[in-house]
Amino acid sequence: MGLSETHRAIEAVWRIESARLIAGLARMTHDVGLAEELAQDALLAALEQWPGAGVPDNPGAWLMAIAKRRAIDHFRRADTFQRKVAELGRDLEDHQETFEAEVVEAVDDDIGDDLLRLIFTACHPVLSAEARVALTLRLLGGLTTEEIARAYLVPEPTIAQRITRAKKTLAQKQIPYEIPQGQELAPRLASVLEVIYAIFNEGYSATAGEQWTRPTLCEEALRLGRILAGLAPDQPEVHGLVALMEIQASRMRARLDAHGKPVVLLEQNRALWDRLAIDRGLAALRRVEELGGQDGPYALQAAIAACHGRAVTADRTDWERIAGLYERLAKVTPSPVVELNRAVAVALAFGPKEGLEMVDALEADGALRNYHLLPSVRGDFLVRMGKLAQAKVEFERAAALTRNASERELLLGRARELDDAVGGA
C-alpha cells in the first residue's frame, strides 16, 4: 500500500473510530478535552507507524491501546497515576502487560454507553447552540476544524475558539460524563436532537453562502441520528427525527436543477426522489407508532414529510391531513414558523384567501419580521389570487432578507417573471 493510500485509509479509520475512541477515553479520564488530545496523539502515532508497518487488522483497537498508553503517561506526569490507576481498575504501574493484551482489552470495551455519554456531553445545554454543533461535529463526526468552518462558512479561528471554549466550559462547570436519568433525560435528549437536526437543516437549506444545499452536513446528521437510534432504541422521538431526516434527504437530488438552481418542493421531479430513503423513513415512523410517540414534535414533522413522500405527484398530496398535523404540532411546540407552515397547508387545502389571513396575522405580530420565507409565502398566495403586482413586491422583499445567494436568485427570478406578466397585461 502506497503512502497516499495509507493516509486515505487512516483518514477513513479515523472517521469511523474517532467517536468511539474519544468516548472510551472520556469515560476513563472524565475530561472530554483530554480525551480528544489523547485520541489525536494516537492518530499521530498511526500516521507515523502505519505507512511502514501497514494498517493493523483491528485499527480501532490499536488506536485505543496507544491512547491508553498516552493516558498513563499523562497521569504519571501529573502525579496522579496511582489514583487514576485505581479508577481504571487496572494495575499498570509496572508495565508488565503486553501490547497484545492491551489490544484485546480495547476490543472488549463496551462502547455503547460510552458513545451515549459523549453525545449527551457534547450536546449539553450549558453550551451555546453554536458550540454544541461545533463540538458534536468535532468529537462525534470526526470533522476537522477546517472542515467545520468550511461547512458553515465561518472563519476557522472562530470554530476553533468555539470548540476550545466549549471544552473549557464543560470542565469548569464540572459537567458529569454520564447518561442522564429520570426527569433529566427528556430535556437533555431534546438538546441532543436539536443539535442533530440543526446540523441537518444547515445542510438541507443553507442559511448563507452561494450553495443552497450542503449534502455533507445532511449525511453527517443522518449518521449521528442512526447511531443514536441504535443506542436509544426505546426513545420514540429519536426514531421520529431519523424518519424526518430520511424522508427530507430523499429529495436532495431533485432540489437542484441541471444548472444547480433551486427547485421548490411542488415543482420537483419526484422520479428523482430516493425511494429507499423514503422507505427507511416510513419504517422509522412505524417504530415511533409502536412506541406510542406519534405526538412528539419530530414524529409529527416526520408524519408531514411522509405525506409528501407517499404522494407520487404534487397534486396528490393530502394537504388537509398536513394542515391537521401542523395544527397538532402547533399545540405541542407553538411557534410562528410552525404557524407559517400551517398557513401554507391551509392555503393549499382550502384556498389562498384563508392562508393569506393567517400570514397577515403573523406579519402583524412581528415575530417573523426578518424571516425571508414570510414574504415569500405571502407572494405565493398573492400569485394564486391573481394579485401579481403585489406578489412581485413580496418576492423582492424576501430576496432582500435571505442571506443565501441561490435562494436570492430564485426569488428575484420569480419577481422578474411577474414583472414581465404585469407589463404584458
Question: Which position has the higher pLDDT, 81 or 410?
Answer: 410
pLDDT attached to residue 423: 61
Task: Please determine, for residue 97, whether its predicted confidence score (pLDDT) is greater than 80.
Answer: no
The C-alpha cell 414558523 sits at 337
Mean per-residue pLDDT over the chain, rounded:
88
**Cell (9 digits) for 238:** 429519536
- Give the integer Cα–Cα distance in Å for 147 and 211: 16
Q: Which of 135, 27, 35, 131 is nearest to 87 (CA)?
A: 27
Which amino acid is it at 326?
Y
Task: Please determine, for residue 51, whether its predicted confidence score (pLDDT) is greater than 60.
Answer: yes
Task: Please determine, for residue 111, whether its predicted confidence score (pLDDT) is greater than 90.
Answer: no
Q: Which of 131, 248, 143, 132 is nearest to 190 (CA)?
A: 132
At residue 98 the predicted structure's pLDDT band, cuts being 50, 70 and 90, is very low
pLDDT attached to residue 131: 95
The C-alpha cell 391531513 sits at 321
Q: Which of 16-25, 141-150, 176-185, 269-278 has the highest mean pLDDT?
A: 269-278
Task: Tell me how many degrees the CA angle 199-400-162 measures, rounded to the nearest 5.
Answer: 30
The phi and psi torsions of 404 (rounded to 5 degrees) equal -100, 125
Task: Please determine, for residue 4, whether its predicted confidence score (pLDDT) is greater than 80.
Answer: no
- 119-141 burial: b if 16+ Cβ within 10 Å, else e: bbbbbbeebeeebbbbbbbbbbb
pLDDT attached to residue 14: 85
Provide the 10 A C-beta neighbour count for residue 99: 11
Provide the 10 A C-beta neighbour count for residue 254: 17
pLDDT attached to residue 1: 53
- pTM for the model stands at 0.81
| Mean pLDDT of the 114-131 span | 93
